[in-house]
Structure 1
Amino acid sequence: MRIIAGEFGGRRLKAVPGTKTRPTTDKVKEAMFSMLGQFFDGGQVLDLYAGSGGLAIEAVSRGMDHAYLVDRQYAAIQTIEENIAVTKMPECFTIWKTSAEKALVKLAENGVQFNLILLDPPYREQQMLLQLQQFVDLGLLAPDATILCETDTTVDYPTAIPHYRLKRQQNYGITEVTIFKFID
Structure 2
Amino acid sequence: MVCRLVWYAGKKKECKKMRVIAGQAKGIPLKAVPGIQTRPTGDKVKESVFNIIGPFFDGGTAIDLFAGSGGLGIEALSRGCEAAIFIDKSRKATETIQANLEKSRLSDGAQVYRTDAKKAISVMAKKGIKGHLLFLDPPYKDTAAYDLLDAAAESGVLTENAIAVCEHDKEVKLPDETVFFKLIKSSAYGSTIISIFRRKEIEEA
TM-score bucket (shorter structure): over 0.9
Within-5 A mapping of 1:1-40: 1-37=18-54, 40=57
| Alignment-mate amino acid for residue 12 of structure 1 | P
Alignment of 1:133 with 2:150, yes or no, is yes
Question: Which TM-score applies when normalising by structure 2?
Answer: 0.85
Pairing partner for 1:109 from 119, 126, 149: 126
Distance 1:36 1:168, change over 3 A: same
1:120: Cα distance to partner? 1.3
Deviations 1:83-112 (A, max 9, x none): 000122311000000010111110011111
The equivalent residue for 2:106 is 89
Within-5 A mapping of 1:1-184: 1-37=18-54, 40-183=57-200, 184=202
Q: Secondary structure at the match of 1:124?
A: coil
1:181: Cα distance to partner? 0.5
| Alignment-mate amino acid for residue 16 of structure 1 | V
Distance 1:81 1:39, change over 3 A: farther
Q: Distance in 1 between matches of 2:129 and 2:142?
A: 25
1:126: Cα distance to partner? 3.3
Distance 1:168 1:115, change over 3 A: same
Q: Is the 8 A contact 1:60 1:67 kept in 2?
A: yes
Structure 1 residue ranges, 4+ long, deviating more than 6 angstroms after superposition = none
| Alignment-mate amino acid for residue 90 of structure 1 | S
Deviations 1:98-146 (A, max 9, x none): 0101111100111111100001111132335411220122111112100
Distance 1:129 1:90, change over 3 A: closer
1:9: Cα distance to partner? 0.4
5+ residue gaps, structure 2: 1-17
Q: Distance in 1 between matches of 2:193 and 2:111?
A: 27
Percent of pairs with identical residues: 41
Q: Is the 8 A contact 1:39 1:63 kept in 2?
A: no
Q: Is the 8 A contact 1:77 1:97 kept in 2?
A: yes
| Alignment-mate amino acid for residue 168 of structure 2 | T
5+ residue gaps, structure 1: none
Deviations 1:32-68 (A, max 9, x none): 1111118943200000011001110000101111000
Q: Distance in 2 between matches of 1:151 and 1:175?
A: 6
Question: Which TM-score applies when normalising by structure 1?
Answer: 0.94
Aligned residues: 184
* Stretch of structure 1 that moved more, 139-148 or 32-41: 32-41
Distance 1:159 1:89, change over 3 A: closer
1:22: Cα distance to partner? 2.1
